[in-house]
Amino acid sequence: MMQSILENRPALEAEIRKVAEVAGYLWQKGWAERNGGNITVNITAWADEGLRSLPALQEPQPIGGELPYLKGMYFYCKGTNKRMRDLSRQPMQNGSVIRILDDAAHYEIIADEAVKPTSELPSHLSVHNYLLSKGSAYTASLHTHPTELVAMSHHREFLAKDVLTQLLWSMIPETKAFCPKGLGVVPYLLPGSVELAEATIRSLSENYDVVLWEKHGVFAVGEDIMEAFDMVDTLVKSAQIYQCSRSMGFVPEGMSEAQLREMSAAFHLPK
Ligand code: 13P
Ligand code: ZN
């Protein structure tokens, strides 16, 4: 049996275990049909000399642009066409570790196997480049397909700036407390495209940690993958309360402006 880079690297293994745990939740929640969704984590902090000296498993591949802050960085990436439910059991067979080359325009796969990274790599890597340029401590990015939020993105009225943020915050106090920057909106763009990557950064730069990709899914960033997942989970809880109320035949009243302001003051929230 081939050796894994996780052997004798307990800190890196713990990080990949979190990715596997979240992948299992995504499947259980019904947000990860077939190969739906992807995860990347900047693991450069755990890249010791041994890992850095690993040879490439195949030819360098373009990352679709130049991302200067990623030079020499290492990422764990879900594999394209791989299933979250499989990744939850075998993260290193359904994802791989890549190294960004010194030209900041190509990557190579170094471990454990030559699993081709996700088709959403342009968005993930552009976002990591953006986060590093801001000196952010965030290391993880998550794209997933939460049913209720995707459904809400089919309603034009919900797509205007911060309409959904206000609605979702007002469904239950915790949503504003644990997703205090709200939900950005990215208009529909082709999955995997550089245009989608650019629009995602534009929206994140308006100070959101989670953005909704119209008629597709969400993209979230966090200090680690658990934090990114928790924010999406919290927003989905609100969406479910809204949906549940509507299916019981009434429009939910929502918390009042004054109650939301009181939350912001008590929890020292930015908005
Ligand atoms: P990948 O299997 O390439 O990660 O794609 C899944 C997806 O959700 C694309 O948006
Ligand atoms: Zn998707």
On whether residue 131 sits in a domain, the answer given is no
Rounded Cα distance between 170 and 181, Å, is 14
Rounded Cα distance between 95 and 111, Å, is 9
Residues 6+ apart with CB under 8 A from 30: 147
Q: How far is the CA of 248 from the centre of ligand 1 (A)?
A: 34
On whether residue 180 sits in a domain, the answer given is yes
Q: How far is the CA of 166 from the centre of ligand 2 (A)?
A: 25
Closest ligand to 191 CA? 1
The predicted structure's pLDDT at residue 56:
98
| Other Cβ atoms closer than 10 A to 156 | 8
The preferred substitution site among 19, 27, 38 for testing ligand 1, maximizing ligand atoms within 8 Å of CB, is 38
| Tokens 């299933």 belong to residue | 83
On whether residue 216 sits in a domain, the answer given is yes
Rounded Cα distance between 198 and 50, Å, is 34
On whether residue 132 sits in a domain, the answer given is no
| Tokens 């020499």 belong to residue | 72
Residue whose CA is closest, atom 4 of ligand 1? Answer: 118
Closest ligand to 40 CA? 1
**Within this chain, do residues 230 and 113 fall inside the same structural domain, yes or no?**
no
Closest ligand to 119 CA? 1
Which of 108, 113, 120, 198 is the catalytic position? 120
**Within this chain, do residues 31 and 96 fall inside the same structural domain, yes or no?**
yes
On whether residue 134 sits in a domain, the answer given is no
Domain boundary residue, one of 118, 138, 158: 118
Domain boundary residue, one of 98, 118, 138: 118
On whether residue 160 sits in a domain, the answer given is yes
**Within this chain, do residues 268 and 208 fall inside the same structural domain, yes or no?**
yes
Q: How far is the CA of 199 from the centre of ligand 1 (A)?
A: 17
**Within this chain, do residues 27 and 77 fall inside the same structural domain, yes or no?**
yes
**Within this chain, do residues 27 and 90 fall inside the same structural domain, yes or no?**
yes
**Within this chain, do residues 163 and 268 fall inside the same structural domain, yes or no?**
yes
pLDDT tens per residue across all 271 residues of the chain: 579 999 999 999 999 999 999 999 999 999 999 999 999 999 999 999 999 999 999 999 999 899 999 999 999 999 999 999 999 999 999 999 999 999 999 999 999 999 999 999 999 999 999 999 999 999 999 999 999 999 999 999 999 999 999 999 999 999 999 999 999 999 999 999 999 999 999 999 999 999 999 999 999 999 999 999 999 999 999 999 999 999 999 999 999 999 999 999 999 998 8
What angle do helix axes 121-133 and 194-204 make, rounded to 10 degrees?
30
Q: If you write DSSP's letter for every residue of 110-169 in order, what string do you get?
A: EESS-PPB-TTHHHHHHHHHHHHHTT----EEEEE--HHHHHHTTSGGGGSTTHHHHHHH
**Within this chain, do residues 14 and 101 fall inside the same structural domain, yes or no?**
yes
The predicted structure's pLDDT at residue 271:
81
**Nearest-atom index, ligand 1, CA of 36:** 8
The CATH number of the domain holding residue 223 is 3.40.225.10
The preferred substitution site among 31, 40, 80 for testing ligand 1, maximizing ligand atoms within 8 Å of CB, is 80
Please confirm, yes or no, whether 59 is among the known catalytic residues: no
On whether residue 126 sits in a domain, the answer given is no
Q: How far is the CA of 17 from the centre of ligand 1 (A)?
A: 21
Does residue 191's CB lie within 6 angstroms of at least one atom of ligand 1? yes
On whether residue 45 sits in a domain, the answer given is yes
Total structural domains within the chain: 2
**Nearest-atom index, ligand 1, CA of 38:** 4
What is the residue range of 84's domain? 1-118
The predicted structure's pLDDT at residue 2:
76
**Within this chain, do residues 201 and 107 fall inside the same structural domain, yes or no?**
no
**Within this chain, do residues 105 and 204 fall inside the same structural domain, yes or no?**
no
Domain boundary residue, one of 80, 100, 118: 118
Q: How far is the CA of 57 from the centre of ligand 2 (A)?
A: 27
**Within this chain, do residues 34 and 114 fall inside the same structural domain, yes or no?**
yes
**Within this chain, do residues 72 and 7 fall inside the same structural domain, yes or no?**
yes
**Within this chain, do residues 113 and 204 fall inside the same structural domain, yes or no?**
no
